[in-house]
Chain A
Amino acid sequence: MDFLKSQNLIDNTIITKTVEEEAKNALTGAVEKTIRNVAAPNLVSRYGIMVLQHLIFNDAMDKLDFYVEECSNRLSINRSQRESVKTKEIEPFLLETSKHTLRFIQPNIPGFISSSLRSELTDRILESLPTKGVVYKGMPGDKDLTIMAEATLIYRKFEGKEKVYLASNDNHFKPNPIQIGSYNSSSMYYTGELDSTVRDKIAEKFGFICEEPSKLLAILQEELKAKENTKKHT
């Protein structure tokens, strides 16, 4: 956000009310979980923790306010249109798509096979992706669907003439990391590869491109460089 402000791209950065509310909810949830996690054996230490959380929470809210007020723009969103896009377009599309996706790859290799052969077989299975399976987190929640509907409306507002990126760390939006084994398995790991199949399908159908914020920043920096170079040559 600071980069966008420094590049005078505030008008191109949109934080919708839903996104702002989600950020506030996330901060509230995180601070409450932290209070529960931290041991406070007596009233004095509990008082200390409450003072600390009060300071941290307000500081985080100050930063959020700064990003909303000084680094971004807000376009009007028609709520009935948003509801219609969400329930009639995005939700059915993702319900159908997520029927054919996997949360992670679980190679079905018998236990007697040695570990070196096991990893080789796992590699072979992975090579056959995406024919073997598309990795996606599963059906998104209500708020995520609302955010997708808002991104669709924003894309349509520009009649497809502008690229619309949606920055998110959530696997419902960005390309999903390929995970081997279930979360409960001690040998679970990430291959380091990303499966962008669902992200790309969403982009193709609804126009907006979801990406991790740090990667999106790199994309924007590249695009700005390319623009500057074109200006210099003309």
Chain B
Amino acid sequence: MYSYKKEIDSIQQMLNSFLETKVINTAHLSKMDALIKRSDLDQIKTLNSISSLNTQRVIFGAIRNINTSLKSMKEKLRTAALRHENPTTAEQALELVDSLSNVALCIDVFNSSEIDASEIDNIAKLSRILYKKAKAFGFSEDAQSQLKEACVTEAIVKSFISNFDSNLAMELDLEEEVKSTVKNNS
């Protein structure tokens, strides 16, 4: 069975070898491709599952965080190699591996068995830690390129945000006043 954790372990070995030799060997970066491709596909697969919306969101987010971190990491390592950088980027990448491993382990468990709601909350927490750490190290893609890649237009973004604002007002118990404003405007 395919294992996210094993792939991360192999990436960790690659990064360690970069640090030992003090050279980023770009020929080895293709080791990251399998997991990038797999996580690309698994994001779509999650949307086709019968899980609850909350579970779909959390698993999609966790896989996406692994995917975008790795894509960005690969690109940064390639640029660092071109600059013949003393592998600071590899050091930073290695620091992210623990967070990647934690989320990868959860994805493996999710793929192999049914997990309960409390476990989903834990995945959400670990995934958020990965997101924050990746962002802090610069291993993240900018929002605009992510939206472009996902074919999300400006109109969709505007409509989603306006809808989100109304729903947030309802969640914050302002529902009556929101409804009344809508009525008065129409």
Contact = CB atoms under 8 A, between A and B. Distances in A.
A54 B152 contact: no
A154 to B, nearest CB: 21
A49 B57 contact: no
Given A170-B174, A183-B179, A55 B168 contact: no
B147 A52 contact: yes
B85 to A, nearest CB: 29
Interface stretch (B10-18, B47-55, B74-82, B94-102): B47-55
A137 B132 CA distance: 39
Question: For chain A, what secondary structure do more than half of its interface residues adopt (helix, strand, loop), or is it mixed?
Answer: helix
A48 interface: yes
Contacts, number: 115
Nearest to A28: B54
Nearest to A171: B173
Given A26-B172, A53-B57, A179-B176, A48 B164 contact: no
A46 B173 contact: no
Interface stretch (B27-35, B109-117, B155-163): B155-163
B71 interface: no
Question: Which interface class (under 10, 10 to 19, 20 to 34, 35 or more) fits B?
Answer: 35 or more
B128 to A, nearest CB: 7
Contacts of B159: 38
Interface residues of A, number: 46
A47 interface: yes
Contacts of B146: 51, 55
Question: For chain B, what secondary structure do more than half of its interface residues adopt (helix, strand, loop), or is it mixed?
Answer: helix
A35 B53 contact: yes
Interface string B145-186: 011011110001101110110011011111011011001100
B147 A43 contact: no
Contacts of B132: 62, 65
Interface of B: 43-44, 47-48, 53-54, 56-57, 60-61, 64, 128, 131-132, 143, 146-147, 149-152, 156-157, 159-161, 163-164, 167-168, 170-174, 176-177, 179-180, 183-184
8 smallest beta-carbon distances between A and B, as pairs? A30-B168, A51-B150, A26-B171, A30-B167, A33-B167, A170-B173, A48-B152, A48-B150
Interface of A: 25-38, 43-59, 61-62, 65, 137, 169-172, 177, 179, 183, 186, 188-190
Given A27-B168, A34-B167, A52-B156, 12 more contacts: A30-B167, A32-B54, A47-B150, A49-B152, A51-B152, A52-B157, A53-B160, A57-B61, A58-B131, A59-B143, A170-B174, A186-B183
